[in-house]
């Protein structure tokens, strides 16, 4: 069948749409961006030194990075012996019907708390976050209050949580720097939590699901932490890796694709491990790479 080309008005509309898309993508990145994302920060957790920051205080919806706080409060409750990792719970209708990324809980299903932690960390289960919050606090509203109280205690000055899993919600916001603060506090309080974040797949029922963190098993030393995406936030990731006794944490927010987000995180880690104590050298390395793009 012969294809017909659009007329002048159709061509104008196509060109206009294309220009708008290019404009939006260009506006999403800071003018001085060294990595392809709206916001980023790299931190040497071993030395306590920030190695690189790019627009790190820009407010952006956290998306599923929210689950880092949900997991931290869950493990806090375990440490305080308010609940056990082996505790069984029953998935509520609300949990099972939560939209977005899921570990595929069924209404009335019995599941251990520990499996919900894997569900949150590996496959970013929104349903798992709701189920855990309901078990610990009775309902998600009370749990969200605990999340915001904890954020204030940690000094996360630009963060406001509206739900337990990061699904779109008006007023929900954070920054790359605040997410770094949360991640450091989380790992210091619960260093063994990395066992939930490091698997490359997770099996629940008859389903085997791949981890959302595609840097696991690809970038040497990577053993966590969390990815996230919504239309408003773009593609986010908090990733940590350890090499030769040095642990780095990179936060990338507002990537235009999962590939570019992962590339940004990988570049940050490689530059950081090459010069783990020199922000100047990290900046130079990222600058050279950005010019070759």
Give the dihedral of Cα atoms 191, 128, 83, 111; nearest 10 deg: -120
The catalytically annotated residue of 67, 135, 214, 226 is: 67
The answer to whether 67 is a known catalytic residue is yes
**Is 226 known to be catalytic?**
no
Active site annotation includes 94: no
Rounded CA separation 156/180 (Å): 9
Place of tokens 């990145």: 29
The single residue of 39, 92, 102, 124 carrying the catalytic annotation is 124
CB atoms within 10 A of CB 290: 14
Count CB atoms within 10 A of the CB of residue 61: 26
Q: Pick the catalytic residue: 39, 64, 92, 101? A: 64
**In terms of Cα–Cα distance, which of 66, 260, 36 is closest to 179?**
66
Distance separating alpha carbons of residues 285 and 278, to the nearest angstrom: 11
Q: Are 161 and 69 in contact (CB under 8 A)?
A: yes
Task: Provide the annotated active-site residues.
Answer: 64, 67, 124
């Amino acid at each position: 069948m012969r294809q017909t080309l659009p007329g002048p008005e159709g061509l104008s509309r196509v060109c206009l749409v294309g220009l708008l898309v290019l404009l939006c993508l260009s506006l999403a990145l800071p003018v001085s961006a060294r990595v392809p994302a709206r916001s980023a920060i790299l931190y040497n957790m071993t030395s306590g030194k920030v190695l690189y920051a790019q627009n790190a205080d820009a407010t952006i919806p956290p998306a599923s990075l929210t689950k880092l706080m949900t997991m931290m409060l869950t493990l806090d409750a375990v440490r305080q012996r308010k609940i056990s990792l082996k505790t069984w719970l029953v998935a509520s209708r609300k949990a099972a019907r939560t939209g977005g990324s899921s570990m595929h809980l069924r209404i009335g299903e019995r599941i251990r708390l520990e499996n919900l932690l894997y569900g949150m960390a590996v496959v970013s289960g929104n349903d798992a976050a709701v189920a855990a919050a309901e078990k610990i606090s009775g309902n998600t509203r009370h749990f969200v209050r605990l999340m915001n109280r904890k954020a204030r205690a940690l000094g996360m000055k630009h963060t406001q949580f509206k739900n337990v899993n990061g699904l779109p919600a008006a007023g929900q916001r954070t920054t790359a720097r605040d997410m770094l603060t949360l991640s450091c506090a989380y790992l210091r309080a619960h260093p063994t939590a990395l066992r939930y974040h490091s698997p490359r797949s997770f099996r629940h029922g008859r389903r085997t699901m791949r981890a959302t963190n595609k840097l696991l098993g690809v970038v040497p030393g990577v053993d966590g932490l969390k990815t996230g995406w919504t239309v408003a936030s773009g593609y986010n990731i908090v990733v940590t890796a350890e090499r030769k006794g040095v642990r780095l944490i990179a936060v990338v927010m507002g990537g235009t694709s999962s590939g570019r987000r992962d590339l940004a995180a990988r570049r940050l880690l490689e530059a950081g491990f090459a010069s783990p104590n020199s922000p100047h050298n990290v900046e130079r390395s990222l600058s050279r790479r950005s010019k070759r793009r």
